[in-house]
Amino acid sequence: MGSKFNKELQTLVGDKIISPELADKIGQYYATKDAGKPNKLFMIFGIFGALLVGSGIILMLAHNWDDFSRLTKTILAFGPLLLGQIFAGFSILKNKSATWKEASGTFLFFAVGACMALVSQIYNIPGELGSFLLTWIVLCLPLVYLLRSHAVALLTILLSTYYAVEVGLWNYRNTETPWLYIAFIGAVLPYYYTLITKHTTSNTVTIFTWIFPASIAIALSAFIGRSEDLGFVMYITMFGFLYSIGRLPVFKELRTLRNGFLIIGSLGTIVSLMIFTFRWIWDELPETFNYDTQELYTAVVVSLLSISVLGYTVIRKGIRAVNLFQVAFVVFGLVYFLLPDTGILPVVLMNALVFALGMSAIKIGADKVNFGILNYGLLIISILIICRFFDTGMSFVVRGILFVMVGAGFFLTNYIMLKKQQRVK
Amino acid sequence: MKPIYFIVFIVLAVVQIGTPLKMIFDNEDILISGTAYKFKTRPIDPTDPFRGKYITLQFEMNSFKTSDTTYVYGDEVRVYIENDQEGFAKVVRVSREPLDIDGDYVMAKVTNTYSDEILFELPFDRFYMEETKAYDAEKAYREVNRNAQEEDVYAVVYVKDGASVLDDVIIAGLPIQEYVE
């Protein structure tokens, strides 16, 4: 037990709130309660140690030692790999603690990459960075399940994201799409799922719940090829998907700030839709749609996924459980594909949609008595109004009045909420 | 912990060791039993985040005159080679399908096409250098180039059955590591 906790107990005894006997009892209770658990701090240091040593080895090998013969270099390449395998194998065989498994897994992860990198150096193997990353991920993915290692699972997600972006975005000579990224993420998903169901409120789950949607949001850009206008459709649909996932019952006990799916989905939806409240973007869209593109198929697949998650929510909890953020992408899709050439109409509809989203956020905030969500809704509406100042010819008087009204709205709603909160208490 | 985990881990460990070993065997095989060719080059100096400093080589042999207009960007082609009078590699034929002719070939990627010519990129374009030497190597190349001694720079490449291993880069008769020292 922490020394801070013991100090608090002493203070309580000193102030005669509890008796010394009770303080001893409480101290003993917590000491025995935590006895069986692995030391968290020790585990974190273990992972960081392995992380630093592992990446240090890669850097040292990347120096390319000219003075070493081919054989010496080869032995050096396999040394860390064998060492990592012995440690990992030992942890599995003896069923060592989570600290052992995390640290040996992290080290082995880097040793595999270092070994392949050094062999590539020795023989000047040209290979694209993408295929190097691919082999590395495939060789280390099973470690996630064999060692039940959070660190290896995180490294796999990060490396897969790097792979997707490298293959689909940065490598300008290639027009490949990193389909295998989906397989990698899919492979880590069951691990994540057991993690959520077992320890919903742990910090580990929070990290994964942010890393997963962030990785998906980054990697999606690698799936956009030449039809860039459809990229927006893909992104808005994907943000709707992430938001719907964030509202699934498994995340119910998670606080809003810990729910990366919900926040990334919501912010992403607002930012992308905000772009479509401007008139110029609708004028920039191509006159005719090319319906036979990879982007369209990807968007259709993502839509089907989002709609099925949405359908699941409706069946489980009824239509009333669905909020506007979950269906915004459907509204956008309908307007985008059915009404693109109808002049000002789509622009008006998009403004109305963003406004409605702001209002619904205010309502959610008010219902939950959550100041964060309430002000988020107000912020959406304010930004919408500020954006409209750029492209409308309103007089300064009208603009001024609008600003004053929005400011007053901020004060008023927060004040009403505060009163409501006090009444509840 | 179930014993199956350990068994699966042993299999994984063997694959983890086997993958780089396979890379070594493939390359050693070409170095031992392949044929050496010299390719005239022009190096520059970038970095790979994991594998360190290397010089990228560009080869003078990068095009082939052909009336075939069906080639497109990104095509994988076989470039059949032989030695010219000065002992440097030159193109004999370029083809997508294997040809029934004697002689070695290397794989290449089509990078551009014109009505009577295709440009291609050879696969062995990376030569890893010790990080302190990569910059000097680039400088050395510029020096050699300024003195119009371009014919002195070439890469030694071993070729066997379409696979190739870049063994060394030679400037003015010396391996590039020794030349920059």
User: pLDDT by residue (tens digit) across A133-173?
Assistant: 999 999 999 999 998 888 999 999 999 999 998 888 776 55
- Cα separation, A315 vs A165, in Å, equals 37
Q: Which H/E stretch holds residue B99?
A: none
pLDDT number for residue B24? 86
Best probe of the A interface among B10, B11, B12, by most A CBs < 10 A, is B12
Residue among A122, A126, A173 minimizing CB distance to B126: A126
Is residue A147 in some structural domain? no
Same domain, residue pair A75 and A46: yes
- Cα separation, A193 vs A214, in Å, equals 17
pLDDT number for residue B143? 67
Which chain B positions have a beta carbon within 8 Å of A171's beta carbon? none
Q: Which residues of B touch A (CB under 8 A)?
A: 1, 5-6, 8-10, 12-13, 15-17, 19-20, 23-24, 27, 48-54, 74, 111, 123-131, 133, 165-167, 177
Contact yes or no for A89 and B17 at CB 8 A: no
pLDDT number for residue B46? 55
pLDDT number for residue A162? 92
How distant is the Cα of A165 from the closest Cα of chain B, in angstroms? 15
The overall average pLDDT reported for chain B is 79
Same domain, residue pair A57 and A87: yes
The answer to whether B44 and A139 are in contact (CB under 8 A) is: no
Q: pLDDT per residue over A26-38, tens digit each?
A: 878 777 766 556 5
- Cα separation, A81 vs B81, in Å, equals 39
Contact yes or no for B19 and A139 at CB 8 A: yes
Is residue A58 in some structural domain? yes
Contact yes or no for B24 and A74 at CB 8 A: yes
Give me the mean pLDDT over the A86-104 stretch.
Answer: 87
Q: Which residues 102-121 of A have a C-beta within 8 angstroms of B?
A: 108, 112-113, 115-117, 119-121
Is residue A305 in some structural domain? no
Which chain B positions have a beta carbon within 8 Å of A146's beta carbon? 5, 8-9, 12
Same domain, residue pair A107 and A47: yes
The answer to whether B52 and B128 are in contact (CB under 8 A) is: yes
Residues 6 or more apart whose CB falls under 8 angstroms from that of A178 comprise A130, A163, A164, A167, A168, A219, A222, A223
Contact yes or no for B52 and A81 at CB 8 A: no
Residue among B6, B9, B130 minimizing CB distance to A64: B130
Which among A111, A135, A167 is the end of a domain? A111
Which chain A positions have a beta carbon within 8 Å of B133's beta carbon? 66
Is residue A416 in some structural domain? no
Joined together, the tokens standing for residue A49 give 């140690």
- Cα separation, A327 vs A237, in Å, equals 9
Q: pLDDT per residue over B111-162, tens digit each?
A: 888 878 888 888 888 888 777 777 777 676 666 655 555 556 788 899 888 8
Same domain, residue pair A14 and A51: no
Same domain, residue pair A4 and A52: no
Sheet order of strands, B63-65 included: B63-65, B117-121, B105-113, B76-83, B89-95
**A244 pLDDT above the threshold of 60:** yes
Residue B175: strand pairing partners: B170
Give me the mean pLDDT over the A276-288 stretch.
Answer: 76
Alpha-carbon distance values, A376 to A8, A173, A217, A273, A354 (Å) = 38, 42, 21, 15, 13
Of the pLDDT bands very low, low, confident and very high (cuts 50, 70, 90), residue A268 is: very high
- Could you tell me the residue range of the domain that residue A74 belongs to? 41-111
How distant is the Cα of A100 from the closest Cα of chain B, in angstroms? 14
Of residues A175 and B84, the one with the higher pLDDT is B84
**A53 pLDDT above the threshold of 80:** yes
How distant is the Cα of A85 from the closest Cα of chain B, in angstroms? 7
Write the Ramachandran bin of B96: left for phi over 0, alpha for psi from -120 to 50, otherwise beta: alpha
Alpha-carbon distance values, A325 to A228, A237, A248, A355 (Å) = 24, 11, 14, 12
- Cα separation, A132 vs A62, in Å, equals 15
Which chain B positions have a beta carbon within 8 Å of A95's beta carbon? 1
Is residue A19 in some structural domain? yes
Which chain B positions have a beta carbon within 8 Å of A82's beta carbon? 17
Which chain A positions have a beta carbon within 8 Å of B166's beta carbon? 124, 126
- Phi, psi dihedrals of residue B156, rounded to the nearest 5°: -100, 120
Instruction: Give the ipTM.
Output: 0.72
Same domain, residue pair A46 and A29: no
- Cα separation, A372 vs A53, in Å, equals 42
Contact yes or no for A123 and B1 at CB 8 A: no
**A399 pLDDT above the threshold of 80:** no
Which chain B positions have a beta carbon within 8 Å of A122's beta carbon? 24, 128
Q: pLDDT per residue over A115-133, tens digit each?
A: 888 888 888 877 778 888 9
Same domain, residue pair A45 and A107: yes
Best probe of the B interface among A81, A121, A147, by most B CBs < 10 A, is A121
**A182 pLDDT above the threshold of 80:** yes
Same domain, residue pair A50 and A99: yes
Nearest to A266 by CA among A311, A325, A321: A325
Same domain, residue pair A51 and A97: yes
Unique residue bearing structure tokens 């890393």 = A211
Which chain A positions have a beta carbon within 8 Å of B51's beta carbon? 62, 117, 120-121, 132
- Cα separation, A70 vs B167, in Å, equals 12
Helix pair A324-338, A345-368: axis angle to 10 deg = 180
pLDDT number for residue A139? 92
Which chain B positions have a beta carbon within 8 Å of A123's beta carbon? 23-24, 27, 165
Is residue A17 in some structural domain? yes
Best probe of the A interface among B4, B50, B159, by most A CBs < 10 A, is B50
Q: pLDDT per residue over A349-388, tens digit each?
A: 888 899 899 988 888 888 887 888 888 888 898 888 888 7
Nearest to B127 by CA among B90, B164, B86: B164
Q: A78 — contact with chain B (CB < 8 Å)?
A: yes
Domain count within chain A: 2
Which among A74, A92, A111 is the end of a domain? A111
Nearest to A153 by CA among A189, A104, A100: A189
Is residue A13 in some structural domain? yes
Q: What number of other Cβ atoms are within 10 A of residue B67's Cβ?
A: 7
Residues 6 or more apart whose CB falls under 8 angstroms from that of B37 comprise B81, B83, B88, B89, B104, B156, B157, B158, B159
**A227 pLDDT above the threshold of 80:** no
Residue among B6, B74, B127 minimizing CB distance to A124: B127
Which chain B positions have a beta carbon within 8 Å of A124's beta carbon? 54, 124, 126-128, 165-167
Is residue A350 in some structural domain? no
The 10 Å CB-count burial string (b at 16+, else e) for A135-150 is: bbbebbbbbbbbbbbb
Best probe of the A interface among B25, B75, B128, B130, by most A CBs < 10 A, is B128
Same domain, residue pair A88 and A51: yes
Of the pLDDT bands very low, low, confident and very high (cuts 50, 70, 90), residue A276 is: confident
- Cα separation, A272 vs A378, in Å, equals 18
The answer to whether B80 and B94 are in contact (CB under 8 A) is: yes
Which among A77, A111, A145 is the end of a domain? A111
